[in-house]
Amino acid sequence: MRGGPLASKKNMGKVGAILFAAGLPLGLFAGTAFASAEIDNTSTADAYVDQWTDVSTIQDAQANTGDNSAESGVYGENETEQDADASASEGNISAEDADDAIAGNAGGTNDQTSSSTNDGTSAATISTGPASATNTAATTVGQDNSGGASSTQGVTQADIDGAGNLYNSSSAILTVTQGASVGTSQTAWANTGGNGAYSSVGGYNGTGQYANAAASGGNIGGVDAAGSTAGNTGGSNTQGSTSANTGNSTASVTTGAATSSNSSTTSVTQTNSGGASSSQTVDQSDIDD
């Protein structure tokens, strides 16, 4: 069995040290043992957290009651032309003996009546109802990170006789990156419309009349015309023309409500708790060298 108990080695080492101090050769104690010890105690905790949120909302709402057009038109035209001839001519008497002769022309009777009437009613109406466009967007993002990295070291006893080194190191690293990007783009259009209403009424009356009730001639010619009667009587001419235009035009545009609405709600919550923890404990370090 090589060597001896640890207590004997300790005593021999002490004896050797004494002999060395006294200038005695150490060869006499070749069995003496020297202890050399090294303790390296290292603890590392590393935690890396990366949180990122990207939210994009795009909305478009359009409301239009229309591009409407209403047109209404009334046009009337009346044209009347009359020509009447009730004339009397000639009726002459020519004789050698024209006693008690009666000669004469009587014009006729001309009765003309012209009536023209235009009655027009034009109505153009546009009525548009409501136009409604609605967009609603809700986005909720939640990120939660808890805990981390933990390093614990414990050196309860280091009892070393001789030459010894004790290295005790501990490190804890925590890196947290949190980012949030929110983009919202909204467009809303409301238009009651480019509406147009047109109404038109037009009337035309044209009347032309001509009448002739003349009497001509009726002459008496002779050598002996005692007691003769000669005469012309003109006729009768009555003309009546009536023209009337009545127009009623109405154009009306009524537009309802156009409503466009956008609503966007974005909520981003990021939470990081915990971290990196490093703990070292050295209860006793007894190194004899």
Statement to judge: residues 226 and 261 lie in one domain? yes
Statement to judge: residues 52 and 22 lie in one domain? no
Statement to judge: residues 232 and 280 lie in one domain? yes
Residue 26 has a pLDDT of: 43
* Distance, CA of 242 to CA of 53 (rounded, Å): 88
Tokens, residue 260: 């466009």
Residue 274 has a pLDDT of: 72
Statement to judge: residues 30 and 100 lie in one domain? no
CA-CA distances (angstroms) from residue 201 to 80, 115, 120, 196, 243?
Answer: 21, 20, 6, 17, 16
Tokens, residue 85: 């001839």
Statement to judge: residues 127 and 256 lie in one domain? yes
What contacts 124, CB < 8 A, 6 or more positions away? 70, 71, 72, 197, 198, 199, 250, 251, 252
How many separate domains does the chain show? 2
* Distance, CA of 235 to CA of 105 (rounded, Å): 9
**pTM as predicted:** 0.50
What contacts 14, CB < 8 A, 6 or more positions away? none
Quick check: 276 pLDDT over 70? yes
Range of the domain at 55: 35-288
Share above pLDDT 90 across residues of the chain, in percent, rounded to a whole number: 7
Statement to judge: residues 101 and 190 lie in one domain? yes
Helix (H) or strand (E) segment spanning residue 18: helix 6-22
Statement to judge: residues 44 and 164 lie in one domain? yes
Residue 77 has a pLDDT of: 86
Statement to judge: residues 164 and 50 lie in one domain? yes
* Distance, CA of 194 to CA of 68 (rounded, Å): 7
Identify the bridge partners of residue 245 per DSSP, sorted by sequence position. Answer: 118
Statement to judge: residues 113 and 23 lie in one domain? no
Do the beta carbons of residue 145 and residue 275 sit within 8 Å? Answer: no
Which of the four pLDDT bands, split at 50, 70 and 90, describes residue 5? very low
* Distance, CA of 46 to CA of 60 (rounded, Å): 47
Statement to judge: residues 122 and 222 lie in one domain? yes
Quick check: 211 pLDDT over 50? yes
Residue 223 phi/psi, 5-degree rounding, is: -75, -40
- Region of poorest pLDDT, from 94-103, 124-133, 166-175, 267-276: 94-103
Which of the four pLDDT bands, split at 50, 70 and 90, describes residue 88? confident
Statement to judge: residues 86 and 201 lie in one domain? yes
Residue with tokens 């209404």: 72
From the CA atom positions of the chain, what is the Rg in Å? 67
Tens-digit pLDDT profile for residues 171-209 = 888 888 888 899 999 999 888 778 888 889 888 888 888
Residue 20 has a pLDDT of: 42
Helix (H) or strand (E) segment spanning residue 16: helix 6-22
Residue 185 has a pLDDT of: 92
Which of the four pLDDT bands, split at 50, 70 and 90, describes residue 22? very low
Statement to judge: residues 29 and 46 lie in one domain? no
What mean pLDDT, rounded, does the chain reach? 76
Residue 172 has a pLDDT of: 83
Do the beta carbons of residue 162 and residue 35 sit within 8 Å? Answer: yes
Do the beta carbons of residue 96 and residue 224 sit within 8 Å? Answer: yes
